[in-house]
Chains A and B, each alone.
Chain A
């Protein structure tokens, strides 16, 4: 197999495309760097000059307001110039190919491309065709990966639980369509979490998911037993009322996170969600707004993690 396309010849992070295949040291480096940036975001002047003069292009081939905004804030706090491109409604509809779009932006002197695309693997294709000094950061590709989300989840878990080696983490819901779940699973197995579980109906779990190193549960209470970390996944509206699930109500009954179900987990368990939440579908408001929830800190940490990733790739 070819060299991991996100590493340069020295084994350093050239692009961030997926957590899969990244060595533990690089993950730890990113988390440690993010730790140092967490302070910046609390200062009155929330800027450091690390990326001054650099251009960050946010290339969003499908909309994701939150991800785009946090990347934008992170880049600005590093003093980079940020250009947001909502490609879904511009050149793609005029028939320009993905690689032509990238080549044109490259001609405008880009340094970092932050890419969101509906098709798995699209950032890999772009990374193969950019110039050597340009960097690609995957901001979510199809069902495949969302590495900065996975990293901010890891950052959050580390922040509250310190050590990964004794943790049991449950990921609940639509794993089949989730780039968040895949990235977090790879991160957790790389950092040595004791047990990673996925919980959901068979229709929402991909074939052979056990091979990723997870235990499969279909019963929510059983799967939550003694968990330290509970990660809820967003269930998109279009998944409901088709062949995958009969209805939102029925889903909530079996797999929605309520205080009652959460009582099976450890008393000090934290509850996470990548957002945006569907209250009353995958999570009850009493949990989302309750003492176990770390959903809003996740968003704050997300900025520091994205600052870390951009500064690291730009330096390699």
Chain B
């Protein structure tokens, strides 16, 4: 289909473009100007940007369909303008064999909605002992390998996994968390946890694990992406690692850009996240790190949890928050608080996320896949169980009024969502 989006404010972070203009789409790609459009969208007052890329979204399939399904979460992705997403391997069973990955890819493809990039399991059953068949998993479409939130206790296994992955050039995505130091903890080890009587996870659980990983990157030269930084110390270490030239990238979850342990209030289980919400100082360091590029991109860390999983005492509640539909509003909120131009804020969920993920989308260049989001940057939405398409209604932002409403989402030239 030939599609014309006219009168738009076109923002393409990859090229730095931010100008009024028309966008032409033909054969599923961004096209040169043409004369006869089959459909024209008047995008007056709207921003047209590359569709957002969420590098961490749990779709809960296979295994946890009562929490969410591919259908429900794809709808949430599109409602949030997300056109590509990477899903962590911590499904049930984990994505540790080619058959499972293939099934997920087929299921996702049949829905012809957002592009799904599976992250394969680094170890069998995520048990941290035996390596998965990475080369075969890569053939079925895994773009990286990860433990998800499952710990990898044995440093010997971690070292071998990085060596093996480096041999084939596979990226490895890791959470930095020392399993011994984090054991039993459910909140940032600080004043708030002390007051609430919650077992703490000290910030050095992250920095010690990160130091180990960085040392192994130095020796193996594996391409490593650090998932969900949560501490100021880790941001500083990543800054130094990049200066040193190590092949590392990292991301931050959108919740950690805005919230800190004070937001736990009276045991709000929607604030039970992994990693935990940390101090204001940590939050500010993360927000700054994302601005100066130390932190490469932001992601939603989308984790739909059913009511039963959250209607529990804080420590027993399942960690995670729904986030696909909040990726744009919370990224805009971060950019606005730091007075950033839109083109820079949007880079963190488009071109930068594409670079981390190693995919060709996330830009509006001629010939690029026509994955596009049209949104109104000033229109607000009130976050509520009813307004969220995701099956998970678990978010600390319930009741918030957030700016940034997606009006249309286009994947490969097809309009897949309109509101």
Contact = CB atoms under 8 A, between A and B. Distances in A.
A124 B266 contact: yes
Contacts of A143: 197-199
A121 B313 contact: yes
Interface string B255-266: 000000000011
B55 to A, nearest CB: 32
A179 B314 CA distance: 16
B200 interface: yes
Interface string B193-214: 1111111101000000000000
A309 B122 CA distance: 55
A133 to B, nearest CB: 21
B190 interface: yes
Contacts of A5: 266
A211 B196 CA distance: 13
A208 interface: yes
A124 B197 CA distance: 13
A117 B194 CA distance: 18
A175 to B, nearest CB: 9
Contact of A207 (B200, B314, B315): B200
B197 to A, nearest CB: 3
Given A122-B313, A125-B313, A212 B196 contact: no
A120 B193 CA distance: 10
Contacts of A116: none
Nearest to A98: B312
Given A5-B266, A144-B196, A179-B197, A117 B313 contact: yes
A119 B200 contact: no
A20 B192 CA distance: 12
Nearest to A146: B197
Contacts of A209: 194
Contact of A2 (B190, B266, B269): B266
B207 to A, nearest CB: 15
Interface centre among B190, B202, B314 (most CB of A within 10 A): B314
Contact of A208 (B190, B308, B312): B190
Contacts of B315: 119-121, 142
Nearest to A2: B265
Interface centre among A1, A125, A141, A145 (most CB of B within 10 A): A125
A1 to B, nearest CB: 6
Contacts of A179: 197
B215 interface: no
Contacts of B316: 119
A207 B202 contact: yes
Interface in B232-267: 265-267
Given A119-B316, A142-B315, A206 B193 contact: yes
Interface string A103-137: 00000000000000101111011000000000000
A69 interface: no
A97 B198 contact: no
Contact of B311 (A20, A124, A125, A211): A125
Interface string B283-324: 000000000000000000000000010011111100000000
Contact of B190 (A121, A142, A207): A207
Nearest to A207: B189
Contacts of B32: none
A211 B312 contact: no
Interface string A1-35: 11001000000000000001000000000000000
B267 A125 contact: yes
B77 to A, nearest CB: 31
B195 A124 contact: no
A124 B316 CA distance: 14
A99 interface: yes
Nearest to B269: A125
B189 A124 contact: no
B239 to A, nearest CB: 26
Contact of A141 (B190, B194, B197, B200): B197
A119 B311 contact: no
Nearest to B192: A208
A77 interface: no
Contact of A211 (B191, B198, B265): B191
Interface string B308-342: 10011111100000000000000000000000000
A21 B308 CA distance: 29
A211 B313 contact: no
B371 to A, nearest CB: 40
A207 B197 contact: no
Contacts of A97: 308, 311-312
B266 A121 contact: yes
Interface centre among B199, B266, B312 (most CB of A within 10 A): B266
Given A5-B266, A124-B266, A207-B189, A119 B313 contact: yes
Interface centre among B191, B267, B311 (most CB of A within 10 A): B267
Nearest to B313: A119
A108 B394 CA distance: 31
A233 to B, nearest CB: 14
A179 to B, nearest CB: 6
A182 B197 contact: yes
A145 B313 CA distance: 14
Contacts of B190: 207-208
A206 B195 CA distance: 9
Nearest to A99: B311
A-B complex: 6 closest residue pairs judged by Cβ atoms: A144-B197, A121-B267, A143-B197, A119-B313, A206-B194, A208-B191
22 contacts: A1-B265, A2-B265, A20-B195, A98-B311, A98-B313, A119-B313, A120-B197, A120-B198, A120-B267, A120-B313, A121-B198, A124-B267, A125-B267, A141-B197, A143-B198, A143-B199, A179-B197, A182-B195, A182-B197, A206-B193, A209-B194, A212-B194
